[in-house]
Structure 1
C-alpha cells in the first residue's frame, strides 16, 4: 500500500521538508477530503493542520498541471506519509474555478476599489464637472487636466484621495491622516488629542479609493473630456485619474510564514474603525520593499506597557525610577492579500482580542 501511495505522489514541485517547525496535524484531521464549492484554502488547511499557514510544508503539488498550487471543487485530497512526514496529495478533474485562499467578499472592496500611490499630486485630476455640478454621476461628463497622451476611447479609473500613511520606523507609531480634495492633509480635526491616528515619521504612500470608471471622448488642449460609465460613485473636483487595469490584483496566494519579520512591521490602520476582529481588513506599515508578499501570515501582538512598580515602592518617584516592561499580549493572526511598495493590506484571520493601530507583527509561531 505504501509503495502505491508513493507512486501516486512521486511527482513533487513544492516540498519544504526541512522546515524548522514541523507541521502539526489537527486532532480531528481527515485522511481524505473532497473539496466543495465555497471552500477556501485557509479552511481546508485548517482541517488538516493546527496551523493553516504551514500548509506549504505538507502540500504535494502536481507538476503536470498548469498551476500546481491550485485546488478545485471535486478534487480529492488525501493525507499520506512519505519518509515519515505527513503530505497531502490531490487527485481530481481540476475544472471550474479554483478555490480562493480566503472569502473574496471579505476583501473584495480593497482589491477592486483601493490603491496606494507614491505621489497623489502628480496624477491627472478632475478640474471641472458638466454644467458646473458639485458632483457628477454615470452618463455625465467630467473634465480632466494633466491626462497627457490621452486619446478618445481610452478607459480610466477616477479615484478620490483618502489618506496619507506614515510612520512605523523605530519607536514611531504608524498612522494615517485624512486628505482634502487637493491631496493635502486635512487639518480640520486637529482639535483631537495629539497623536490621534496621525501619520508621522517616514512617508509610506497615499491611499486612493476608486469611485468610477470613465471613457475619454474628447481632448482639447490640456483638458480631456471623460464620460462616466454606469457603475460607480459620485465624482467631485480634485478626484484623481488613473489608467484602468483589467486585473490589477492577484487572487491566488498560498498561506505561509514570511522569511523574516521587518522591525517596523506594525498595524498601520484599521478599516472603518479603531479596532478590528476576525475578517476585518487592516493596513500594514510594510510592503514589497520589506520582502512582504501576498499570502504571508503574521501573528499580532499588543506592545507590552512599561509600568512603575508601585507595590515595591511607596514613593512615586522611586516607583517611576523602577519601571518594568510588561509582556506583549497575543491578539491573533492575519494574512496579507495585497501588497504595495511600502504598505500592504491584510485580513485578520482569527483573534482573541481586538486589533488596534500600532500593534506589532511577529512570526505566526511566536510565543512571546
Structure 2
C-alpha cells in the first residue's frame, strides 16, 4: 500500500512539474540553448520563460539540475517536447571549465553591496568620528594621517570603514497629496530625505536639506543610509584621540565622517528569485543610487520594506508606475486652473525588481527589466 502511494505521489509531482513547465515556457522557445560566458540565470530564463523569477521551481523539478545555481558556460539546456508538453533539462556533460553563472550580474552590484548600509540614527550619532588631519589639512586622501574620537576599544592594526550619511528614511503614516520636485504624487508615506553633502561637522555628521523633500524633519525615523567612502587603519590610541592612516578612499574624507567596523561578509553571493513570502503594507520605490528622476534596467533602487517586513534576498516584485493626473479638456469649459476637471490615469506596468540586500525597514533591489523609467513613489505588487 505504501509503495503504491509513493508511486502515485511521484506521478503527481511529475505531472505538476510538466504542467508548470508547460505553463511557463514561451511558445516560441528554441529546442536547445547553449549557456555562454556572461549569461545570468535571470537573462536566460527571460528568453524562454514567461515568468523568469520561477526558474528555481521549474529547474529543480528536473533530476539533471541538482542545483539550479550550478549551471556553467557550455551547458546545453534542452527544451524538448514530451508527451506532457515542453520540459527543461540539462544535457549530460563533463564540466571542466569556469565558475557557475550567477543569478544576477553581481559584478555590477559589488559597489552597492559593499558600500551602502542602513543603520539606526542613534547608532550613527554614537559612532566614532573624525576630528582632524595631519598638518591641519581640511581634507584627507590615501596615505594621510587622520585623527578620530571615541575609538577607545580600537587596537593598532585594526581597520575601520569610513562612512558618510546620505539619506534619512522616514515613515509618515500616510500620503498627504503633496507632489515632488518634478510634479509626481508624493512618494507614499515612506520618504527619503537627502542629507546635505557639503557640510559635515562633529559631533553630528549630518543635517537635513529641506530643498529635497517637503516632509523633511517630520515622521518616524526608519534608519539612516550611510555610504562607505574609505578604509583606515589604527596606528595608535592616545586617550581621547586615536591616530589612523587613511588606506583608501573613493572621496576626500572630512571632519565629521563616521567610523564603522569593516564587514567581512557584507552580502550573500547567491540569490533565489521568489515572490514575497508575505506582502508588506503598501511598499514603494523610495530612492535611487545614481539617478535624479528615474531608473531603468540594471540600476539600483531602494524600497520601503525590509527584513522586519518579511523581505529577504531574492524577493521579486512587479513595479507599477504611477499614472499621471491630466486635465480633462473635453468635459465642459476647460480651465487649466480648475483642478477638479483633472482625471487620474491608472498605474501601468513598469518592470521587475529583485532584492539583493535588506535592512530592518529598507531594502536595495536591482531593476531586472523595465518598460519605462521607474520613479519614486511607484507601487510594488506581487510579480505577475
- In which range does the TM-score fall when normalised by the shorter chain? 0.7 to 0.9
Q: Which residue of structure 1 lines up, in the alignment, with residue 266 of structure 2? A: 248
CA distance in 1, matches of 2:304, 2:75: 38
SS at match of 1:275: coil
How far apart are 1:183 and its partner, in Å? Answer: 3.1
Going from structure 1 to structure 2, the CA distance change for 1:67 and 1:168 (only over 3 Å counts) comes to: farther
1:1-368 equivalence runs, <5 A: 23-60=23-60, 69-79=69-79, 84=84, 87-90=87-90, 91-92=92-93, 93=95, 96-119=98-121, 120-167=124-171, 169-171=173-175, 172=189, 174-179=191-196, 180-181=199-200, 182-187=204-209, 189-190=210-211, 195=214, 198=216, 200-230=218-248, 232-272=250-290, 273-304=292-323, 311=330, 326-365=345-384
Distance in 2, Cα, partners of 1:163 & 1:279: 21
CA distance in 1, matches of 2:171, 2:234: 38
Cα deviation for residue 50 of structure 1 reads: 2.0
Using a 3 Å threshold, how does the CA distance of structure 1 residues 361 and 158 change in structure 2: closer, same or farther?
same
Secondary structure of the corresponding residue to residue 148 of structure 2: strand
CA distance in 1, matches of 2:58, 2:75: 16
User: Is the 1:299–1:330 contact (alpha carbons within 8 Å) kept by the matching residues of 2?
Assistant: yes
Worse-matched range after superposition: 123-132 or 297-306 = 297-306
CA RMSD of aligned residues (A): 3.5
C-alpha distance in structure 1 between counterparts of 2:63 and 2:259, whole Å:
42
Alpha carbons of structure 1 residues 243 and 82: separation in structure 2 relative to 1, 3 Å: farther
**TM-score, length-scaled by structure 1:** 0.81
Find the residue that maps to 2:46 and give its secondary structure.
Answer: helix
Q: TM-score, normalised by structure 2?
A: 0.78
SS of match in other structure, 1:111: helix
- What is the alpha-carbon distance in structure 1 between the residues aligned to residue 296 and residue 347 of structure 2? 18
Corresponding residue SS for 1:97: coil
CA drift at 1:170: 3.4
Structure 1 residues 233 and 113: alpha-carbon distance in aligned structure 2, compared to 1, 3 A threshold:
same
Q: Aligned-pair distance for 1:164?
A: 0.9
Secondary structure at the counterpart of residue 45 of structure 1? helix
1:23 and 1:58 in contact (8 A); partners too: no
Q: C-alpha offsets along residues 190-236 of structure 1, whole Å, 9 cap, x if unaligned?
A: 4x7x62x8575332211111111121121111222221214543211
- Matched residue of 2:135: which SS? helix
2: CA distance between counterparts of 1:68 and 1:160?
A: 38
Mark the CA change 1:327 to 1:277 in structure 2 (over 3 Å): closer, same or farther: same
Aligned residues: 347
> What is the rounded CA distance, in whole Å, between the counterparts of 1:261 and 1:94 in structure 2?
43
Q: Aligned equivalents of 1:232 and 1:86: distance in 2?
A: 50
- Contact kept, 8 Å, 2:236 with 2:244, in 1: the verdict is yes
